[in-house]
Amino acid sequence: MRIQVNRYSSPVITLSQDKSVHDAIIVMLQKGIKQVVIVKGEIPIGVITERDIGRFLERDTSSRALDVIRIEEIMNQSIVTINEEQEDLSKQAAIRMITFQISSVIIVDENGKLKGIITKSDIVKNFEQICAGTYRVRNYMSKKLMTCRKTDSLIFALRMLNKSKISRLVVTDNEGEAVGIISYDTFLRNSGYFKAEKATRDYLLPSMSAKNMTAGDLLSSDLLVVRADDDLAQSARLMIEYKVNGMPVIDNDGNLDGIISSTDVVRAYSEIETHFRLIKKDPHFA
């Protein structure tokens, strides 16, 4: 089976390294993206993500506002690229995402010039289109998940995200039942930073009263969940439709069973061609 999918995203949203973190945040919000490629001329030299900014602000002890912190201080210079002429481009990008634990792969031409980008969201879309009925959620879901109570403070939840190097927390009630998910996106959508008169540091917190707010204050009324026996491609479709990167998995009694994320879908996508080859040789692998 040859995996042939959509082309990569182009043009790519870029900034130069002398721009500020404030500039990067504004671009991410306006364009609805999670990362910005940093360039020197037409050559990609780094990437900056929401998580990079959040982690930096937690450990940075200075009092500088975000409009005076340069991108070059935060950006990841160890970028992963792939040539635009690479065979099975998206499959190779997915393999790189899993291997290097990254959320995007930068596409370049033979001269190293920026041509596009493939993100986890692109891979999830492709998986939904070509992999219906191939896997169940239980084949790739994670039983290990980080949770917080809805009564925990926002600052506690944000610190958990940074410390654990994860993108989301499952929020539970006092009985341990899943009631929502809180992620960097949740903080960004509710941020008071963009309503402030100047570029403050707490861009992920709703307001100066955030110390008194809890995780439950930012939860939507409806929780999107899936079950272990659901089609993984259907779960991928839900991620696309509702613009989420992870969903709790519950059992038949409604108890929390695990979590399925866009990273899990990317992993499945990276393995599907090998899986089909094994099935062709030995049906027991099905």
pLDDT for 222: 81
| Beta-strand runs (E) in 34-141 | 35-40, 43-49, 81-83, 104-108, 114-119
- Compute CA 183 distance to the chain's CA centroid, rounded to the nearest angstrom: 9
pLDDT at 3 over 80: no
| Rounded-to-integer distance, Cα 276 and Cα 220, Å | 40
**Locus of tokens 């506690």:** 156
Model confidence at 208, pLDDT cuts 50, 70, 90, reads low
pLDDT at 9 over 60: yes
- At CA 123, angle to CA 122 and CA 126, rounded to 5? 90
Residue % of the chain over a pLDDT of 90: 53
Model confidence at 63, pLDDT cuts 50, 70, 90, reads confident
DSSP type of residue 154: H
pLDDT for 171: 94
pLDDT at 276 over 70: no
pLDDT for 205: 81
Cβ-proximal residues to 240 (8 Å cutoff; 6+ apart), any chain:
121, 124, 125, 128
pLDDT for 192: 78
pLDDT for 108: 94
DSSP SS3 for 241:
helix
Tell me the whole-structure pTM to 2 decimals: 0.86
pLDDT at 153 over 80: yes
